[in-house]
Amino acid sequence: MQLKAELQAHQLSKESFEHDNEKVKYYTGLPNFRVLVIVLNIVTPFICTKNIGLVIF
């Protein structure tokens, strides 16, 4: 269980950002996960990409 927590701490996933506002601030400059989700909801419709491997999280 500890190994899984350590692995999650180093991943860039929705779950890792959801519970770590310091990580959100470091990687995005935004104050917390809630603001990140709001920004993503606003800009996602305007993102045009053909890279199928690219996901929001």
39 Cβ contact list (under 8 Å, min separation 6): 30
> Tell me, what's the pLDDT at 54?
64
Q: Which secondary structure element, helix H or strand E, spans residue 15, and what is its range?
A: helix 14-18
DSSP state of 13: S
Give the tens place of pLDDT for each residue, 30-56. 999 999 999 999 998 888 877 666 677
> Tell me, what's the pLDDT at 33?
97
> Tell me, what's the pLDDT at 43?
92
pLDDT higher at 28 or 50: 28
In the predicted structure, residue 3 carries a pLDDT above the cut 70: yes
Query: Can you give the pTM of this predicted structure?
Result: 0.72
When the pLDDT of each residue in the chain is averaged and rounded to a whole number, the result is 86
Are the CB atoms for 9 and 18 separated by under 8 Å? no
